[in-house]
Structure 1
């Protein structure tokens, strides 16, 4: 693992060593506005650190929600109540004011970590992680190719050892299909959705499809996926029962993912299965270097309606990020102890 100035973890496969154990009884919070895409990286990092974090949902109301991330925390929000945790993980612009307030209210005792670019500089937290394709840099900024997530080798192995019965009977090869949709960076193009469904139909002739859609998936595309699943005998999660997301990844011989979510692709490459990428929307400019690096590594290929690529060493940066956070937290803890004495 190459290290560069500014707590940077360089590109490539991180070392798979164990994460430094934090002291017994270390307390932690997760601060987000409750979106699944924000909770997942925080949960994954907390798990890698060996912490059972208390999840606190920020509820900013106007005008404070309009001012985030630059404005103050909403005084009506009861999310910040003592006792203060030893460590706090946060992400999402609405969580920035709360994290800054927590740092101040705790007198600097809570070690604060923000995931992704807070848009107002690295000073919002003691440590900030951003993906390499973001521009933010500094002495307290940590960067890796991909971010933390909860798709750990242990969880994948457990899902394979006790496979979801809804998926286990599907004949191999199996293809997980992770469908995103509209975002603030682009809308699904109808012609792209049609090409995507046609390509999935062709893939369904040679592989069992295991499909899950997002809350961002347009209703017209959802209907197309439902018709396709009936025609091809595919599995389509309809929202009932346990979420099969991890099981899909664990059992997949290949993963089809839409290019609107870097998080989704980052989780997919942690499986070691070829990832077949399709652009439902114009790919966000900032994500292009990330996808290009994954193509160079051999993990990602364009999706053209057929299985392509071969397995590779899984890419999971979560342990390396957790190790950097653990080391920084322990330095912070030692510095506090020297200031306060025995």
Structure 2
């Protein structure tokens, strides 16, 4: 490289099954790398043909991928990426193929607990609440995500005229829904809405509410009916998504306890995070460990019906994971 020439951009390949929540973990980590070092990011979405989807990962081969999938592996004569970041069960065999076929050129990162050949990836970035360990495992609070100061500021521009003038405190409410461990039946949703309305009214503040794809329709209807009289905005799913704007303009963030992603994203803002209880349908030890971790970091507390303020150092776990990748790449490349 010539003296004074810019460093070569890293090539990063993000691989997922296309589900937004999953893809955002890998993409968020790639974007954090890009903030730290010049990088070019490409995204590949894959799924297996129905006949092969349930096969153990060890038995899968690229020809079993659905024809609608992107080609995740470089073709003959194509360059391998410097970094491969994948997430989800569907990507596991492809990640190990990339590591083997690239001859070690590609640094392979898997997010979440792979639960299969954990020691065979270059790095596993896993939530601390998953409880896995190893020389190639980096445990972080929550999961990697796409939240950054720049992204929040950019996302806020579209909604500034609707949110900036709202009375303070502005309360962002992020509602999840039915999952393996939790449910949000109509009566519980109504109870939560009444408690939220009381807290917002008591402070003279305003509401910024968004539901997830998992929120039951009956729960949406119950909460909307009880909260629509407050100043603010309830997003109905139409038009641009105000999620980033809500996080940017919020003074408080209320998050249902079923979502590790939303809790970690909220904690990256430095704003008080209040955890809303849901109806547990089975033991949820992992979520309990996450919430305990967030409490220890000073970021989150159970919602007690009030909007008490506090401060803490915002979580920057995605950036920490990106720095770890760069450090390990530097060691590998000498």
TM-score scaled to structure 1, two decimals?
0.84
Distance apart, 1:28 and its partner CA: 1.0
Task: Look up the match of 1:81.
Answer: 74
Deviation, structure 1 residue 70: 4.7
Structure 2 unaligned regions, length at least 5: 1-5, 66-70
Aligned-partner Cα distance in 2 for 1:37–1:68: 23
How far did 1:161 drift? 7.5
Higher deviation after alignment, 127-136 or 231-240: 231-240
Q: How many residues align?
A: 313
Shift of 1:291: 0.8
Deviation at 1:156, TM superposition (A): 3.3
**1:49–1:322 CA contact under 8 A, matched in 2:** yes
Q: After alignment, is 115-124 or 249-258 more displaced? A: 115-124
Contact kept, 8 Å, 2:295 with 2:301, in 1: the verdict is: yes
Structure 1 alignment gaps of length 5 or more:
1-21, 335-342
310-319 vs 73-82, greater mean Cα deviation = 73-82
- Say which SS state the counterpart of residue 64 (structure 1) adopts: coil
Instruction: Answer whether contact 1:201 1:305 (CA < 8 A) is retained.
Output: no
Contact between 1:96 and 1:124, CA under 8 Å: does it hold in 2?
A: no
8 Å contact kept, 1:69–1:119: no
Farther-moved stretch of structure 1 (170-179 vs 288-297): 288-297
Name the CA distance, whole Å, in 2 between partners of 1:308 and 1:73: 54
Deviation, structure 1 residue 160 = 6.0
* Structure 1 match to 2:314: 314
Partners of 1:68 and 1:185 lie apart in 2 by: 25
Paired position in structure 2 for 1:10: none
Displacement of 1:158 in angstroms is 4.8
1:223 aligns with 2:207: no
SS at match of 1:298: coil
Inter-CA distance 88–234: structure 2 relative to 1 (3 Å threshold)? same
Name the SS for the 1:27 alignment partner: strand
Please report how far the alpha carbon of residue 121 of structure 1 lies from its aligned counterpart in structure 2 after TM superposition: 3.2
Q: Is the 8 A contact 2:124 2:138 kept in 1?
A: yes
2:3 is matched with none
The structure whose RCO (Cα within 8 Å, separation 6+) is larger is 1
Shift in Å, 1:157: 4.6
What aligned pairs does 1:43-54 form with structure 2 within 5 A after superposition? Answer: 43-50=27-34, 51-54=39-42
Question: What does residue 339 of structure 1 align with?
Answer: none
Residue 281 to residue 104, structure 1, CA distance change in 2 (3 Å): farther
Match of 1:203 among 190, 194, 199: 199
Deviation of residue 124 (structure 1)?
4.1
For 1:323, what is the secondary structure of its paired residue?
helix
1:299 is matched with 299
1:135 aligns with 2:131: yes
Native 8 Å contact 2:185 2:216 kept in 1: no
User: Residue 35 and residue 59 in structure 1: after superposition, are their counterparts in 2 closer, same or farther (change >3 A)?
Assistant: same
Residue 39 (structure 1) aligns with: 23
Counterpart residue number, 1:279 = 277
C-alpha distance in structure 1 between counterparts of 2:57 and 2:227, whole Å = 42
Aligned CA-pair RMSD:
2.2
Taking structure 2 as the reference length, what is the TM-score of the superposition? 0.86
SS in 1 for 2:325: helix
- Name the CA distance, whole Å, in 1 between partners of 2:92 and 2:19: 14
